[in-house]
């Protein structure tokens, strides 16, 4: 077994708190490591290091900061397989899926490499007689990120490359369930030339989270996780006068119009619903075919595909889906499937009793498919975060849109159709932050920003992209006059 340490001031430092959390291999159920959980004093020490290092980094030219990001991007490409193995070992997702995670993270690093362009200010000459005005974006100081288990490398890299490129220092608290990937990529950034103390990693539980949220030297906090915790982080952080962006849960719907290519739609639902065992905030967990005939065709197309899912450990290159993250997660998903059956949904494919030879103690589930789901059922209202797809059958396009708009979450959604009018009406009228048209998982590319609506996100800024520049900087505007001649005396009217 191995011990995962903190990364403070460029050095690996073991926590001395005496608190630890076990790390398991989800494919086998065996403990493979331990992570030390930091005390309040250890978190405070990391913040102090970040605060001391930030002024010099903030004064470093954006071009030099960008060069570090360019080198970091090159190292990520070179070490992508290694990063993916770190992800799969503790999370359980397939190697190819983990490589996809690294690729999407790399996009953000590449965008952060454009810091000189992103941080350019504005200038106006002669706004008044002999008066010029310019504006600039300045770093906040020390900022923090609190990240989830489902994307242990990508989500941290949705945060710290942009924050650091903008001139801030960063304290990262990754998930204690799979902390090694975040630590690995942080060490790569140091290898790329980032000065010690600018990026620090502390592992911990709620105590560490609360310490970051309350700390007066932390100016902004980014969070991704469940909605109840996102709301908690937002309220506690803003009560401490911090900027907070807190991304929460989701219940993502995909409308299938009668004119859609049914094979294409079914294949899209397979990847979007069962990829990464459904442990994605952008997973499609609700299929919404319009009309009874469309629903019948869709379920008939999905059933054999779900039954044929290739499930295995990350070491199996042919596996399409791995285990869920913990035994507790597996039990919770099973209990929700049980509730769907009890409440009257039709369980077309039952994945509860799946067992993989040689991995009987792993946290594997088969894919489950429900038909005849109603909006009052727990499997519809709750974010299951597992390999479960529900099919609802509204009779009209308008009723499907109303169904989606009435849900408390508004993270992502999609429509599959050949009809441009329907697609345009959908994208304009749907109350969801990210929309796909014949694209099942509409995660924006890095030069746009990611963000949901309603109870899927708290705070006024999306994550990464242009929104990140505004979140991690503050605006300063300077008005300049170089007077000539003799003073004309004081003026007591408002300047114009």
Return the pLDDT at 490.
76
Return the pLDDT at 493.
76
In degrees rounded to 5, what are phi and psi of residue 210? -65, -35
Q: Among the options 281, 282, 302, 347, which is catalytic?
A: 281
Tell me the C-alpha distance between 168 and 174, whole Å.
Answer: 18
Give me the mean pLDDT over the 413-429 stretch.
97
Give me the mean pLDDT over the 415-425 stretch.
97
Residue 40 belongs to some domain of the structure: yes
75, 174: one domain? yes
344, 357: one domain? yes
Q: Which residues are CB-neighbours of 237 under 8 A, at least 6 positions away?
A: 213, 221, 243, 244, 246
Give me the mean pLDDT over the 422-449 stretch.
96
Tally of domains within the chain: 2
**Tokens encoding 491:** 């003026």
82, 99: one domain? yes
User: Does 486 have pLDDT greater than 70?
Assistant: no
User: Does 163 have pLDDT greater than 90?
Assistant: yes
Q: How many CB atoms lie within 10 A of CB 450?
A: 26
H-run or E-run covering 239: helix 227-239
270, 128: one domain? no
Instruction: Give the SS3 label for residue 266.
Output: helix
209, 280: one domain? no
pLDDT band at 495 (very low <50, low <70, confident <90, very high): confident
Residue 444 belongs to some domain of the structure: no
Give me the mean pLDDT over the 180-191 stretch.
98
196, 305: one domain? no
Containing structural domain, residue 322 = 252-437
pLDDT band at 485 (very low <50, low <70, confident <90, very high): low
CATH of residue 80: 3.40.605.10
Instruction: Give the SS3 label for residue 143.
Output: strand
Give pLDDT tens digits for 229-255.
999 999 999 999 999 999 999 999 999
CATH of residue 330: 3.40.309.10
119, 163: one domain? yes
Residue 486 belongs to some domain of the structure: no
Residue 495 belongs to some domain of the structure: no
Identify the domain boundary among 437, 464, 491.
437
278, 298: one domain? yes
Per cent of the chain over pLDDT 90 is: 96
Tell me the C-alpha distance between 460 and 303, whole Å.
Answer: 41
Residue 450 belongs to some domain of the structure: no
Give me the mean pLDDT over the 184-200 stretch.
98
User: Does 122 have pLDDT greater than 80?
Assistant: yes
Q: Which residues are CB-neighbours of 277 under 8 A, at least 6 positions away?
A: 92, 93, 321, 322, 323, 324, 365, 386, 387
Angle, vertex CA 101, rays to CA 100 and CA 104, nearest 5:
85
Return the pLDDT at 492.
77
Residue 378 belongs to some domain of the structure: yes
Return the pLDDT at 369.
98
308, 171: one domain? no
Q: Tell me what percent of the chain is helix, strand and coil, each rounded to the nearest 5.
A: 40, 25, 35
Q: How many CB atoms lie within 10 A of CB 158?
A: 25
Q: Which residues are CB-neighbours of 309 under 8 A, at least 6 positions away?
A: 270, 274, 320, 321, 366, 367, 387
Return the pLDDT at 489.
75
DSSP bridge partners of 11: 8
44, 133: one domain? yes
Return the pLDDT at 242.
97
Residue 397 belongs to some domain of the structure: yes
Task: Based on the residue annotation, tell me whether 166 is a catalytic residue of this protein.
Answer: no
418, 404: one domain? yes
DSSP bridge partners of 235: none
Residue 483 belongs to some domain of the structure: no
DSSP bridge partners of 347: 370
Per cent of the chain over pLDDT 70 is: 99
260, 323: one domain? yes
Q: How many CB atoms lie within 10 A of CB 437?
A: 15
């Amino acid at each position: 077994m191995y011990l995962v340490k903190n990364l403070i001031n460029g050095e690996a430092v073991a926590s001395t708190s005496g608190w630890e959390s076990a790390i398991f291999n989800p494919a086998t159920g065996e403990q493979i490591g331990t992570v030390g959980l930091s005390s309040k004093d250890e978190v405070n020490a990391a913040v102090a290091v970040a605060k001391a290092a930030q002024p010099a980094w903030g004064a470093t030219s954006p071009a030099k900061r960008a060069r570090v990001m360019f080198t970091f991007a090159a190292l990520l490409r070179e070490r992508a397989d290694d990063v993916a193995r770190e992800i799969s070992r503790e999370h359980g997702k397939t190697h190819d899926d983990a490589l996809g995670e690294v690729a999407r993270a790399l996009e953000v690093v590449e965008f952060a490499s454009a810091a000189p362009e992103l941080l350019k200010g504005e200038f106006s000459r002669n706004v008044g007689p002999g008066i010029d005005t310019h504006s600039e974006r300045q770093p906040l100081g020390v900022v923090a990120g609190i990240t989830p288990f489902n994307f242990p490398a990508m989500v941290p890299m949705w945060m710290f490359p942009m924050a650091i490129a903008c001139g801030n220092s960063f304290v990262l608290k990754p998930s204690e369930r799979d902390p090694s990937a975040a630590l690995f990529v942080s060490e790569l950034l140091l290898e790329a030339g980032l000065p010690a103390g600018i990026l620090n990693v502390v592992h911990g539980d709620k105590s560490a989270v609360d310490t970051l949220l309350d700390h007066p030297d932390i100016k902004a906090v980014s969070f991704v996780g469940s909605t109840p915790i996102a709301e908690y982080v937002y309220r506690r952080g803003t009560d401490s006068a911090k900027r907070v962006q807190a991304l929460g849960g989701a219940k993502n719907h995909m409308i299938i119009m009668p004119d859609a290519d049914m094979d294409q739609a079914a294949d899209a639902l397979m990847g979007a619903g069962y990829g990464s065992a459904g442990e994605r905030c952008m997973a499609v967990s609700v299929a919404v075919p319009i009309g009874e005939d469309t629903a019948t065709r869709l379920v008939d197309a999905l059933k054999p595909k779900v039954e044929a899912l290739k499930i295995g450990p990350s070491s199996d290159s042919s596996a399409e889906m791995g285990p869920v993250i913990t035994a507790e997660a597996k039990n919770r998903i099973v209990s929700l499937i049980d509730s769907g059956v009890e409440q009257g949904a039709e369980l077309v494919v039952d994945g509860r009793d799946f067992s993989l030879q040689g991995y009987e103690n792993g946290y594997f589930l088969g894919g489950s498919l429900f038909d005849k789901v109603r909006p009052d059922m727990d499997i519809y209202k709750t974010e299951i975060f597992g390999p479960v797809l529900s099919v609802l059958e509204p009779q009209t396009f308008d009723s499907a849109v109303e169904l989606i708009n009435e849900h408390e979450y508004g993270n992502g959604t999609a429509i599959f159709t050949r009809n441009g009018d329907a697609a345009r009406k959908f994208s304009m009228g749907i109350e969801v932050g990210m929309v796909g048209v014949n694209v099942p998982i509409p995660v924006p590319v890095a030069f746009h920003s990611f963000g949901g609506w309603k109870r899927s996100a708290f705070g006024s800024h999306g994550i990464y992209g242009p929104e990140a520049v505004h979140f991690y900087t503050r605006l300063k505007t300077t008005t300049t006059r170089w007077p000539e001649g003799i003073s004309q005396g004081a003026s007591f009217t408002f300047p114009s």
